[in-house]
Structure 1
Amino acid sequence: MKKILLLLVGVPFMAQSQCWDQISSLNNSVLIQKSDGSLWGYGTNNDGSLGSAIGQINAPVVISADADWASFSSSPKTSLAIKSDGSLWAWGINANTFGNGSSSTTPVTSPQIVTQITDVASVSTDGSASFAVKQDGSLWAWGSDQYEKLGLGSGDQTTSSAVQIGTDTDWVSVKTCVYFVLALKSDGTLWGWGRNSAAQLGQGYASPGVEPDEVYVAEPVEIGDGAWAQFCGYERMALAIKTDGTLWSWGYSGHGALGLGQMAQTVLVPTQIGSDNDWSSVSTAGQVSAAIKTNGALYTWGIGMAGALGNGSLTWTNVPGQVGTATNWTSVGNSYVCTFASNSQGQLYDFGYSGNWGYQNYYTPLVFTSADCSLGIGENPRNFSVWPNPVDRTVSIAFDGNVEKFRLIDASGRVVIQGSPVQNQIDLAQLSGGLYFLEIESDGKSYRTKLLKK
């Protein structure tokens, strides 16, 4: 008999004294990183996007033990990752999505370097198209141009090689949302392109025609009034956090995932969720959304099916609600009717129906024993963040306390800059591009987080 997952009882994967750091999830595939830099995955692996052997992977397995992975993006077909030297790596099915000028139906089950594009700072793939921001701030795309989401102009621009989008060199990060794409510039402006059937581009209108007559936006257009810090989206909706800590949403959801107080609604322009101004990260899979506050509290909203909200109820909710009382959550992701979240105790939780992509094919509450997780390189403590990241010139520090001094450490462990921040800001204009670790000291304790210099 199937059991229903309720309360804060999920699937905890013990980190064995290493913290889980980043999470990337799309549909049935989950990539995660430990604080030692190693890359892991679990879920449906029919096309090798999780590395290892083809087939279902029921608990996290190591994809690469290398310690220099900087960021990554998962999808059911293709996975992409960046190393600290800016090199791009790909595995899974190459449906023009590797960016190496070719395609193949043969699964690649371990990361292989893509030599055709270098100096990469940010990457995103959905298995049909891929996007990257280079360290010089230029934006690139390759793969399928369905919905004109490559951003290269009208007409089919499908390509297996990376092509630059426009000529601007002030892009910071990019995220493909399956039907459309979002990207952030260094001035805090957010841009989007692709399908706009449900106002997911935040332009004040929707174009819900029937293909091929549906109107697409073939080049980047600005969304909202700027000052954005973090963003996400899925198919027909988007969520974003501004630099003042407020949370916003737009587009369409029939499951309350917009968080604006209605189950089914179309929102034409970015609209604030509540009045709180202490949000730090956000995630959505279209049916379920989740966010973490600066105090480490986790909130979820949307479809309650299978306990995906982790709040002890199967009821759907249309506004953010706190998950338990813990304030040690560090990262969060969503996939279909599931929420993934890691905490500072070294545990990774899987709330909801994980039958399609991991652990078990039925709902099983588990009792677990916590394991302490000490701070390690790459861990991002709940009260310590930096923005923008990647950074071009000046980085700002957000921290719940007094930052007495800082050290910037390169990937080899060498201290390259140290001192005391001025108004919690550090000028990095003269620093070479690459992956660094920013370490701060406060009240006799040290905290570290990753920082990517463009």
Structure 2
Amino acid sequence: MPLTRTSTVTRTTTVTLTTAFTLTALTASTLTARADSSDPWARSWGNNASGQLGNGNATLQLTPTNVQGIARQDLQELAAGGAESSGTGTATTPATSFAVALLKDGTVMSWGANGSGQIGNGTTNTQVAPGAVAGLSGVSHVAAGSNHALAVRNGRVLSWGSNASGQLGNGVTAADPGGAQKTPVPVQSLDRVVDVGAGCEFSVALRDNGTVWAWGAAADGRLGNDDERTNSNTPKQVKALTDVVAISVGCAHVLALAADGTVKSWGRNSDGQLGNDSTVRSTVPVTVQYLDSVAKVAATTNGSFAVLDDGSLRAWGDNGSGQLGDGYTDDRTTAVPIDAVQGVKEVAGGPEHTLAALDNGSVIAWGANTNGQLGSGSTAASSTPVVALPAGSDISHVAASTNGRSSYAY
């Protein structure tokens, strides 16, 4: 932003959900196989209009398909970005959905929409199968935002794609010479970075001293520096935040996990995604209430999740499509337990659906399903978890498009 996104996600009116439901605890015995559990490839499903599933075509996929040429054993990290097209006629906003994959050899592959150069191959051509990001090796982490991407190499951050709000962090914006970038460029004045995250036109980095830095769009306070009006095209430190061990970035909010197992948040809060018992945005970090012993955090488009040390799940924020999984469709301003889903290894989600990788190697999903993003074989929404990949599939990680309807597992 000046964001092309509104403060809330438009929800499809064709999905019918019950206002309350009871989740049944999921175990290996209750998971019905939908795919060959011995399949060695990274998997993807859902919307594929821009080739963002990486399977060589642009056809909608209602069940998991293979990402071409990327085996799970070779894949270190996969990040999915972008959004669906919106509007009609001359007011249509093109789709930006894409994905970036870091291989264990330190090289990076990408595919999907490329109108802003977000797949980093030196062109603006859409690509339906993985190809190399230009000139990248020795990479340790990647991230994908609404229309830009990040990579960490030797503690430094590289960026490419749209730069409309300074989200590339290279000291210029799209209006300047060298604004949008079709190949990676260095982020200024930042070193010793151990992780990165990307949202809707902003970027976040975690340094090895536990401090957090942000740059790009300032709207809604997403930079965490007590300023929601001034975009920054170079990194600025998030105020009063130390001892952070992990970050996760939504469309316009950020979660930061502290060493003591507590969670801080800042940015947009229209759906309660900051978890501080309000819907008022915050330009500086606030504490997520009623939450401790957190092992992992996951910020979805306008929602938030925490995996606790015991593998149980907590959720808060946007719930209009039942994507929090608590049995209702009411937004939550504080963390609520998702008691029926246990043994969680990782969570990810888009604006209206959620994925979870369980400790039995399966992937489950719930929420809206307009483009088959649940992987259930239909486009019917599900207010209870459905199986995308069965137990024994050897899956540990999931990802979903920043503001879209595409899903990934590896």
Q: Classify the TM-score, shorter chain.
A: 0.7 to 0.9
Within the alignment, does 1:81 sit opposite 2:147 as a pair? no
Given candidates 256, 265, 276, the residue that maps to 1:192 is 265
Deviation at 1:234, TM superposition (A): 3.0
Specify the alignment match of 1:375 in structure 2.
Answer: none
Distance 1:11 1:313 in 2: 18
For each residue in 1:388-442, what CA deviation from the matched residue of structure 2 results, as whole angstroms up to 9, or x when unmatched?
xxxxxxxxxxxxxxxxxxxxxxxxxxxxxxxxxxxxxxxxxxxxxxxxxxxxxxx
Letter in 2 for 1:334: A
Inter-CA distance 155–337: structure 2 relative to 1 (3 Å threshold): closer
Letter in 1 for 2:322: G
Given candidates 203, 209, 218, the residue that maps to 1:145 is 218
Given candidates 265, 268, 273, the residue that maps to 2:330 is 265
Inter-CA distance 40–272: structure 2 relative to 1 (3 Å threshold): same
CA contact (8 A) 1:26 1:285 kept: no
Within the alignment, does 1:128 sit opposite 2:197 as a pair? no
Specify the alignment match of 2:168 in structure 1.
Answer: 98
CA contact (8 A) 1:37 1:65 kept: no
Specify the alignment match of 1:226 in structure 2.
Answer: 292
Comparing 171-180 with 104-113, greater Cα deviation is found at 104-113
Within the alignment, does 1:237 sit opposite 2:303 as a pair? yes
Inter-CA distance 322–216: structure 2 relative to 1 (3 Å threshold): same
Specify the alignment match of 1:250 in structure 2.
Answer: 316
Specify the alignment match of 1:360 in structure 2.
Answer: none
Specify the alignment match of 1:204 in structure 2.
Answer: 277
Inter-CA distance 16–200: structure 2 relative to 1 (3 Å threshold): closer
CA contact (8 A) 2:200 2:252 kept: no
For each residue in 1:308-347, what CA deviation from the matched residue of structure 2 results, as whole angstroms up to 9, or x when unmatched?
21122322112323224242113211122221112xxxxx
Letter in 2 for 1:63: V
Within the alignment, does 1:21 sit opposite 2:82 as a pair? no
* Aligned-residue RMSD, C-alpha: 2.2
Specify the alignment match of 1:293 in structure 2.
Answer: 358
Specify the alignment match of 1:40 in structure 2.
Answer: 109
Specify the alignment match of 1:177 in structure 2.
Answer: 250
Structure 2: unaligned runs, 5 residues or longer: 1-57, 83-96
For the residue of structure 2 that corresponds to 1:253, the secondary structure is coil
Distance 2:60 2:124 in 1: 29
CA contact (8 A) 2:293 2:308 kept: yes
Letter in 1 for 2:284: E
- Aligned 1:51-450 pairs, distance under 5 A: 51-52=120-121, 53-64=123-134, 66-83=136-153, 85-94=154-163, 95-105=165-175, 106-206=179-279, 215-224=280-289, 225-262=291-328, 264-327=329-392, 328-335=394-401, 336-342=404-410
Inter-CA distance 195–4: structure 2 relative to 1 (3 Å threshold): closer
Inter-CA distance 296–16: structure 2 relative to 1 (3 Å threshold): closer
Deviation at 1:192, TM superposition (A): 0.7
Asked which structure has the greater RCO (Cα within 8 Å, sep 6+), the reply is 2
CA contact (8 A) 2:108 2:136 kept: yes
For the residue of structure 2 that corresponds to 1:307, the secondary structure is coil
Distance 1:70 1:6 in 2: 32
Letter in 2 for 1:260: D
Distance 2:367 2:285 in 1: 29
Structure 1: unaligned runs, 5 residues or longer: 207-214, 343-454
Distance 1:333 1:217 in 2: 26
CA contact (8 A) 2:364 2:385 kept: yes
For each residue in 1:168-223, what CA deviation from the matched residue of structure 2 results, as whole angstroms up to 9, or x when unmatched?
431122222122221111111111111211111112233xxxxxxxx421110111
Inter-CA distance 278–46: structure 2 relative to 1 (3 Å threshold): same
Number of residue pairs the alignment of both structures matches: 330
Deviation at 1:81, TM superposition (A): 0.9
For the residue of structure 1 that corresponds to 2:260, the secondary structure is coil
Specify the alignment match of 1:376 in structure 2.
Answer: none
CA contact (8 A) 2:169 2:235 kept: yes
Distance 2:389 2:247 in 1: 32
CA contact (8 A) 1:238 1:249 kept: yes
Letter in 2 for 1:287: E
Higher normalized strand content (fraction of residues): 1
Deviation at 1:293, TM superposition (A): 1.1
Distance 2:362 2:73 in 1: 21
CA contact (8 A) 1:44 1:76 kept: no
Deviation at 1:283, TM superposition (A): 0.2
Letter in 1 for 2:344: W
Identity level (%): 25
Deviation at 1:289, TM superposition (A): 0.8
Inter-CA distance 80–12: structure 2 relative to 1 (3 Å threshold): closer
Letter in 2 for 1:112: V
Kindly name which structure, 1 or 2, has the bigger radius of gyration based on alpha carbons. 1
Inter-CA distance 101–184: structure 2 relative to 1 (3 Å threshold): same
Inter-CA distance 152–107: structure 2 relative to 1 (3 Å threshold): closer
For each residue in 1:218-277, what CA deviation from the matched residue of structure 2 results, as whole angstroms up to 9, or x when unmatched?
110111322212222234211221122111111122222111223x32112111112444
Return the TM-score normalized by structure 1: 0.68
Specify the alignment match of 1:439 in structure 2.
Answer: none
